[in-house]
Amino acid sequence: MILLQIATADNKVSTVLFLGTIGMLALTIGLIVFIIFHQRKVIRYQMRLQGMEQDQQKMLLNASIRMQEEERQRIAADLHDDAGPLLATARLYLNENLVNLDKASQLQSIYNAKQIIDDTIQLIRNISHSLMPPTLKNFGLESAVNDLFQKISGSGSMNASSRFHDYKERLQPETELIIFRVIQELVNNILKHSNSSFIHLTQNTSGNKFFIRMHHDGRGLTQTDFEKLNKSNVGLGLKNIQSRLKVLHGRIFFEKDMSQTYYKVTIELIKDEDGKPQ
């Protein structure tokens, strides 16, 4: 009604005023509508990202639980299938009839039982070492990795070497264990799938970051492959690596070397105030 009255005014100023006012109002309303719709779109986008992150977390958690279960099953199987029969056999040698046997037979039985118990001790030691490598516990990450690589090289199937540049003092035991497990898993994958002739590991630091890099010349993964496997239901080991690194706020990158000859895996960790990875 007002605008109608204004529009009918034949004054030039009125026209400018009319158009100016309408234009300003249209611009303002347009701006506000744009802001509201833009914000709704941004929120939807953020929600989707959050959803994806939650799914990823769920998958990592599942992977970690499955890994734990598999580890438990392996230990149970080792104990049940190896230690159990060994101890049962030792018990047979040491049964009540032993006292009724002649001296030579008694000595033979005791000797056999002792041998079996020694084997069992060795077996349990092996299980315990696989749970927590003593080199890692006593001498640190560098020695444990060198030890692991020496064993691989010793097998003759692959040449493995490692070099730690900035590892002057030991990290937190839990941190070292996590890093070692990640390296172990990566090495396992390389041994199983890559068909490479060598693995070389280097460690160094740069600014507030702690890097571990591994090179190999076999078939490897790129970051895209890693992300694909991480989102799929396969690649349990990779998910496990991801969940372990998440604890340390670390990241992992898979890439093909510039020369397209080597595959490179980089583990990146952030150092805390003491200069050690968190």
Which residues contribute to the site for another protein (CB under 8 A)?
Answer: 2-3, 5-6, 9, 11, 13, 16-17, 20-21, 24-25, 27-29, 31-32, 35-36, 38-48, 50-52, 55
Q: Minimum distance between the CB of residue 230 and another protein, rounded to whole angstroms? A: 14
Q: Minimum distance between the CB of residue 59 and another protein, rounded to whole angstroms? A: 12
Largest CA distance in the chain: 135
Nearer to another protein, 7 or 247 (CB): 7
Q: Which of 241, 187, 244, 180 is nearest to 214 (CA)?
A: 187
Q: Minimum distance between the CB of residue 232 and another protein, rounded to whole angstroms? A: 13
Nearer to another protein, 114 or 231 (CB): 231
- Give the DSSP letter string of 5-54: HHHH---HHHHHHHHHHHHHHHHHHHHHHHHHHHHHHHHHHHHHHHHHHH
Nearer to another protein, 25 or 247 (CB): 25
Q: 3-state DSSP helix/strand/coil percent for the chain, to nearest 5?
A: 65, 15, 20
SS3 94: coil
Nearer to another protein, 6 or 92 (CB): 6
CA 231 to chain centre: 14
- Specify the pairing of strand 159-164 against strand 209-216: unpaired
Q: Read off φ and ψ for residue 195, nearest 5 degrees.
A: 60, 35
Size (the chain), residues? 278
Nearer to another protein, 58 or 151 (CB): 58
**CA separation for the pair 273, 278 (Å, rounded):** 9
Q: Minimum distance between the CB of residue 37 and another protein, rounded to whole angstroms? A: 11
Nearer to another protein, 39 or 128 (CB): 39
Q: Minimum distance between the CB of residue 29 and another protein, rounded to whole angstroms? A: 7
SS3 260: coil
Q: Minimum distance between the CB of residue 58 and another protein, rounded to whole angstroms? A: 12
